[in-house]
Every structure is written in C-alpha cells, then in structure tokens.
Amino acid sequence: MSATPILPGPMAGGRMATLGVLGGGQLGRMFVHAAQALGYQTAVLDPDPVSPAGRASDVHIATAYDDEQGLAQLMQRCEAITTEFENVPAGALATLAAQRPVAPGAQTVAIAQDRIAERAHFAACAPLAGVGPAPYAVITEAVDLARVPDTLLPGILKTARLGYDGKGQVPVDDRAALVSAWERLGRVPCVLEQRLALRDELSVILARAADGTTVHFEPQRNVHRRGILAVTEACPDAVPAALAQRAVEATRIVAEQLQYVGVLCVEYFVIDDGSADGRLVVNEMAPRPHNSGHYTIDACDVSQFELQVRTLTGLPLPAPRQHSAAIMLNLLGDLWWRDGQPCTPDWTGVLALPGVHLHLYGKLDARPGRKMGHLTVTAPTAAQAQTTARAAAQRLGIAPWR
C-alpha cells in the first residue's frame, strides 16, 4: 500500500480520484455508495452487464475477472482497487497489485478461498488468540477417509472451496455417511469438522490499516436459517461482555498474523460447555465487509463500507461509534412469492414503522434464497428495536426468532 493517502475529489490533471472494485454484487454496490459519498469516482469490474454495483458505479467494465484487457482497463482508471467477495481469482488481485495498491492482498484472499488453508491459519493463531477452530480433519483422497478419528463423528463435511451460505456442506453421522457424502460432493478436497453443541453465533467486523492500526465494531449476534444469515442483533448485551472481548481480541490476532489491510469479518460459534457464557470456536473469515455488518450504515457514525474505503486509500481510521440499537433482517427472494405466485412484499406497512431503513440491492430476479436486500431497524433501546423488528418481520412473513 502507498504511504501517501489517496485523497478524494479532483486530482492534478483535472480528473477525480477513482477507486476500483472486483465484483458487482450488493457488497460492491454499498462500497460504491460509500466511496462516492466521500468524493471518489468508482469503477467496477464484473461480467454481469446489469450487476447491482455496476449499475451504481461511474464506470462498469463488463469482463471476466481474469480478462487481461479488463484488468488493464481497471488499472488505468483507478488509483487503488479492492474486492467485494473472496471468490475472485487471487491471481487477478496479484496482477493488479503489481501496478496499483490493492487491499486486501491476494495472499489473504487465497487463504479465505480455501477452508484447508483457513483452518490452518486459525489453528496457528490459537496459541495467541486463545480461540481455535472446531476439531477437524483434511480429506483430499480416499485413504484420508479411513484416517478420520472416531471423535470427529458425527460431523459436518465441507468442501474446501466455493462453499458459502450453507452450500457445499453435508452433515454426516458415521463413516458410511462420510464416504457417501464425499462421493456426492465429487471427491473434491474437503474438511470434516466435529459437530459441536452450538449455543449461539456471533461475528466481529474489524478494519486494519497498512500501519497496523485497527478499529472494530462491537460483536453482533447472528441467527442463520438453512445456512444463510437471517437476523443480526446489534444491541447492548446481545453478546456477553467477556465473550465479546475475547472475540474482538481473537479477531485482531487473526488479522495481525495475516498482516491484513482492509475490512475483515470473523465468525464464531459459541459452544455450550457448561460455563455461563460458553466457549468460542472460530468458524470462518470473510476478507471484506459482511452481511452481519450492514446495520452499521444506519446505526453507526462510520459504516463498514466507509472503513473499507478508508483502509484502501490510507485515510485515518476513526473508532466507529454506534448511536442506536439495531436489528438487521435479511430479505431473501422468497418474500416475493406466495403459494407459488409472484407477489410484492408489504413495503407500505413496513415503512410505516418507526426507525425502519429499507435497502434493496437492485437485483431484477427474485429467486428463493437469493439476497435481495436487508431491513435495518434502529431504536433508542434494544427492547424497542426488537419490538419493531418483530412487527416488520410479521408484515413480511419472516419467521420469528428468540
């Protein structure tokens, strides 16, 4: 990264400072909005001609992520470049980094793309962080199936690559089921994790600058359904204080050991071990802003996306302050269907509620399970946020949570 900050607004030569992003989804779209609000122009590289970020950006380069001409055009237009998701080719980031500041770096993204490498990093951090991954075994060939310790069963078999939102994961109860699941997944490299007594889930979103400065949001409690984030609670006491402190420190060490630059989310399981708060187990990391941090747009003075802009450009990192209790509801494409027929969600009823902030991502095709937007409810107290969020969920047909 450059030691000289990339400042927003007009540059010498009469053009605007421009930031690039690989990926055209909703995370890219919200990065574009944050960059533009600060006074930067933006360029998005994404193959989809109607991608949400591409349609919001000043420039959309509609090519594949590894297209040489597309990458060259992005480099020519941009002062610095980031990514909106971890499954862009790490090699493309390395190519861009030869000519422009890129954050996060290709090496970190490559680790996040591969559960085997990711688990190894978490295990290496455990002595410092006091938090490690669930007990696991790596399976890359048939002989590894027989070497799996009995203690890992029952477990969850996860593909090493391209698994997200519950995809590429198969629960297995015994060795026969393990063999069958590995065959069904195509005999690709996998990680088998011991199935643990899950009490809760939480995440920590942290931003780290090139000089090692870190700031973070308070940990948030998450509820997943069918492997997809459904609800995030960002309210006082949503996460016990001691547990929150351990999670923040563990996340800082995970980022520090990677020499990470950018916004990083680390997700944790809270395991029921008989103690008052439970035991933390690190689940996975995302080298980018995260779905569980969307509430920061409406509930904090600096959002996760503004911090992404600041880490990329070398601007100062203020510690974010949360001014409102918040509940975030994921809005999936299922809401646009009822009894097999298309419908329109009750936006009029929802937007009549106090403290409701609707964010739709501009996606044209509402499919079941597809993230179409999110709804954030802000309020002076956690109880008020919960009451309004439950009323909004009832109007939308979203199942209640605890």
Q: How many residues does the chain have?
A: 402
Cβ neighbors of 353 (< 8 A, separation 6 or more) are 377, 388, 391, 392
| Backbone phi and psi for residue 168, each to the nearest 5 degrees, phi listed first | 70, 30
Angle between helices 115-129 and 241-257 (to 10 degrees): 120
pLDDT higher than threshold 80 for residue 23:
yes
Number of H helices, E strands in the chain: 13, 19
The mean per-residue pLDDT over the stretch 45-65 comes to: 97
| Confidence (pLDDT) at 198 | 92
| Confidence (pLDDT) at 74 | 98
The separation between the first and the last C-alpha atoms of the chain, rounded to the nearest angstrom, is 44
The mean per-residue pLDDT over the stretch 90-104 comes to: 96
Residue 308 Cα distances to 38, 40, 52, 59, angstroms: 12, 13, 18, 19
pLDDT higher than threshold 60 for residue 1:
no
Instruction: State which H helix or E strand residue 265 sits in.
Output: strand 262-271
| Backbone phi and psi for residue 281, each to the nearest 5 degrees, phi listed first | -130, 130
Give 79's Cβ-side CA count (13 Å radius).
Answer: 23
Q: 171 with 196: CB under 8 angstroms?
A: no
What pLDDT digit, counting tens, does each position of 365-380 carry? 999 999 999 999 999 9
Q: 374 with 396: CB under 8 angstroms?
A: no
Report d(CA 214, CA 232) in Å as an integer: 23
Band of residue 317 on the pLDDT scale cut at 50, 70, 90? very high
Give 49's Cβ-side CA count (13 Å radius).
Answer: 0
| Confidence (pLDDT) at 162 | 75
The mean per-residue pLDDT over the stretch 259-263 comes to: 98
Output the six-digit token pair for 61. 């380069």
Give Dmax over CA atoms of the chain in angstroms: 67
pLDDT higher than threshold 70 for residue 163:
no
| Confidence (pLDDT) at 146 | 93
Instruction: State which H helix or E strand residue 169 sits in.
Output: strand 169-172
Of 2 and 313, the structure prediction assigns the larger pLDDT to: 313
Compute CA 98 distance to the chain's CA centroid, rounded to the nearest angstrom. Answer: 26
Q: 186 with 143: CB under 8 angstroms?
A: no
Band of residue 274 on the pLDDT scale cut at 50, 70, 90? confident
Nearest to 379 by CA among 324, 299, 322: 324
The mean per-residue pLDDT over the stretch 107-114 comes to: 94
| Confidence (pLDDT) at 165 | 60
Q: Which structural domains are found in the chain, ordered by start?
A: 18-102 (3.40.50.20), 135-194 (3.30.1490.20), 198-396 (3.30.470.20)
Report d(CA 182, CA 219) in Å as an integer: 35
Nearest to 306 by CA among 8, 86, 1: 8
3-state secondary structure of 172: strand
Compute CA 96 distance to the chain's CA centroid, rounded to the nearest angstrom. Answer: 22
Cβ neighbors of 282 (< 8 A, separation 6 or more) are 122, 129, 131, 132, 133, 250, 254, 266, 267, 268
What is the pLDDT of the chain when averaged over all its residues? 95
Report d(CA 90, CA 92) in Å as an integer: 5
Strands 325-332, 228-234: pairing kind: antiparallel
pLDDT higher than threshold 60 for residue 260:
yes
What pLDDT digit, counting tens, does each position of 335-345 carry? 999 988 999 99
Tokens 């696991």: give the residue. 136
Q: What are the residue ranges of helices labelled H in 140-267?
A: 142-147, 175-184, 241-257
| Confidence (pLDDT) at 227 | 87
pLDDT higher than threshold 90 for residue 309:
yes
What pLDDT digit, counting tens, does each position of 172-198 carry? 999 999 999 999 999 999 999 999 999
Of 84 and 168, the structure prediction assigns the larger pLDDT to: 84
Report d(CA 281, CA 337) in Å as an integer: 37
| Confidence (pLDDT) at 2 | 56
